[in-house]
Amino acid sequence: MPDILEIRGLDAFYGSFQALFETSLTVAEGEIVAVIGANGAGKSTLLRSISGWLGSAPDQILFDGEPIGGHRAESVATLGVVMVPEGRRIFRSLSVEENLMMGGYTGRTGTWDLDRVYDLFPVLGERRLTPGTRLSGGQQQMLAIGRGLMANPRVLLLDEISLGLAPIVVKELYRVIPTLREDGMAVLLVEQDVRQATATADRIYCLLRGRVSLEAPADEVDHSDLIAAYFGVRDE
Amino acid sequence: MTDAIVQGILLGGLYALFAAGLAIVFGVMKIVNLAHGDFIILSAYLTLVAVELTSLNPMVTVALIAAIMGIFGYALQRGILNFTLGSGILPPLVVTFGLSIIIQNVLLEVFSADTQGLDAGALELSSMSLPFGIAVGWFPFLTFLLAIAVLGGLQLVIGHTKMGRSFRAVSDDEETASLMGVRTRHVFGMAMAIALVVTAIGGVVLGIRTQFDPALGPARLIYAFETVIIGGLGSLWGTLVGGVVLGVAQNVGAYFSPGWRELAGHLVFLIVLAWRPSGLFGRNGE
């Protein structure tokens, strides 16, 4: 499968602080890629750069071979690279259904619509008229994912969807990710939970202090290599 | 006294028209538009010009004036006000304050300080009789109905259209809305356009009801503010109630002494502010 997303030597900055150093990464069509790493390793920075929230040089981020680095977030979304942001960020003045409809704002067509999201997460359909922020944490995360899917993305970026949720809820959320592949959607997810990430993804990248410290197919990851890549010290 | 209250209620419709535009601009962009009152007066002067050119009844020109002000609003937001956003509340305050002064002086230059009026013909003078010896002018009555229709229309647009959803989403969380493909700068332009359409309707009505001159804007701004605060931010129908409360307070004050008109309005505003800082229909904690 050709690469739908390619990150080439990405440097990312918050003011004068550099958070990513020459990071390179690829995601193929229909591939699920997980980025793991400790707090502050640069995982969220990577997604913020791709989504357009954070500036970057044009040819450091390629979508379908076209440079999109430094594009505004709204044009990145319109192209079909859609981020589910960390912390869910549900619109509090909007009902569950209106939140989902905002997800479809770009008018991109595809297989995802309200009915299909409600099939995937029936609880959202049951509570569709409830204000979005009235839902439980796990349901809000379902809503955030559903909202992302409503855009019919070609690449879905998931930022720490398990954060602060009970293990059983996390399992429920991760259940849906393999089904996305069937649509040919590519998924790039950032996760702190290494076990969850390796269980879900085809390939993983580990970030350490803003640099890629490991890249491997998820089912071939060597445990001690991973620990070394994650913490930066080799466990002898 | 009853008469003063009835007239005050009807006046509330006009105040709601003044206030709705201010509330939308604050709600979506978080801009406190200090030129709002001058936009009202500008609309009245535009109507004056339109009437002189076409000799139509001013109420007939409403759609034209509303369209002109709407386009002006979009251009103003995209061309100037969007650049004042993102670094605190001060830049938009200063810029709209400057706009207020510019509009007043341009009107003064073009139209002089003489008071002007719009003549709506028989509509302005005819009235109907209610029980208890109260006479209600058709024009204030129609103004009130117009305010209800405008607020109802706004409610439909904001509550049930894609554009309205984008207003609320951007108001909640601009950054996240951009992830949905929302072009915030365009949404802000549209919000200002709609706000000025409503403001223009208020301006035409004002011009028919009363005499106006270029310096009248700031006082209309104060009325609009008081209406929004009494009604409560974030509630469109609240602005109608706020307008009614303010209108009744002013008219009852004037009933006792003409000099108490403004004072009574301000006092009621202060009482509501002290008693319910988020307004009668405001969402708490916001």
pLDDT in tens, A97-128: 999 999 999 999 999 999 999 999 999 999 99
CB B176 within 8 A of CB A91: yes
CA dihedral B63, B65, B67, B73 (to 10 degrees): -150
pLDDT of amino acid B146: 95
pLDDT of amino acid B278: 87
Strands A66-67, A211-217: pairing is unpaired
Q: DSSP string of A93-162?
A: TSBHHHHHHHHTTT---SS--HHHHHHHSHHHHHTTTSBGGGS-HHHHHHHHHHHHHTT--SEEEEE-TT
pLDDT of amino acid A234: 66
pTM above 0.80, yes or no: yes
Burial of B132 (0-12, 13-18, 19+ CB in 10 A): exposed
Residue B49 in tokens: 């010009």
Statement: residue B285 has pLDDT above 80: no
Is B181's CB within 8 Å of A51's CB?
no
Amino acid at B161: T
Tokens 């011009």 -> residue: B207
User: For A58-64, what is the mean pLDDT?
Assistant: 95
With beta carbons under 8 A apart, name residues in chain A contacting B167.
Answer: none
Q: Show which of residues 104-163 on chain B sit within 8 Å of chain A, judged by CB atoms.
A: 162
Tokens 């003044």 -> residue: B18
pLDDT of amino acid A1: 74
Q: What percent of chain A has pLDDT over 70?
A: 99
A162 backbone dihedrals φ, ψ, rounded to 5°: -95, 0
CB B233 within 8 A of CB B246: no
Residue A45 CA to residue B286 CA, distance in Å, equals 31
Residue B128 CA to residue A72 CA, distance in Å, equals 58
User: For B213-241, what is the mean pLDDT?
Assistant: 93
pLDDT of amino acid B286: 41
Q: How far from chain centre, in Å, is Cα A72?
A: 18
Statement: residue B89 has pLDDT above 50: yes
User: For B219-224, what is the mean pLDDT?
Assistant: 96
- Say yes or no: B168 contacts chain A, CB-CB below 8 A: yes
DSSP state letter for A191: E
Residue A175 CA to residue A2 CA, distance in Å, equals 26
pLDDT of amino acid A208: 93
Q: From B186, which residue of chain A is nearest by alpha-carbon distance? A: A74
Is B162's CB within 8 Å of A77's CB?
no
- Output helix, strand, coil percentages for chain A, rounded to the nearest 5: 35, 30, 35
CB A33 within 8 A of CB A204: yes
pLDDT in tens, B246-267: 999 999 999 999 889 999 999 9
Q: Chain B: nearest CA to A155, how far in angstroms? A: 13
Residues 6+ apart with CB under 8 A from B254: B4, B260, B261, B264
Average pLDDT of chain A, as a whole number: 93
Is B165's CB within 8 Å of A101's CB?
yes
How would residue B284 be classed by pLDDT, with cut points 50, 70 and 90? low
CA dihedral A12, A13, A17, A23 (to 10 degrees): 0
Is A106's CB within 8 Å of B176's CB?
no
Q: From A97, which residue of chain B is nearest by alpha-carbon distance? A: B165
Closest CA to B185 of B160, B166, B157: B166
CB A234 within 8 A of CB A224: yes
Statement: residue B274 has pLDDT above 70: yes
Tokens 């509340």 -> residue: B89
pLDDT of amino acid A235: 56
pLDDT in tens, B127-165: 888 777 788 888 999 999 999 999 999 999 999 999 999
Residue B99 in tokens: 């706009």
How would residue B205 be classed by pLDDT, with cut points 50, 70 and 90? very high
Closest CA to B208 of B65, B32, B72: B65
Amino acid at B79: G
pLDDT in tens, A177-194: 988 988 889 999 999 888
Statement: residue A236 has pLDDT above 60: no
Extended strands (E) in B68-194:
127-130, 134-137
Q: Which of A78, A98, A151 lies at the smallest CB-CB distance from B165?
A: A98
Q: Which of A92, A103, A105 lies at the smallest CB-CB distance from B172?
A: A92
Residue A206 CA to residue A33 CA, distance in Å, equals 11
Tokens 């301006």 -> residue: B203
Residues 6+ apart with CB under 8 A from B159: none
Q: Chain B: nearest CA to A197, how far in angstroms? A: 24
Radius of gyration (Cα) for chain B, nearest Å?
19
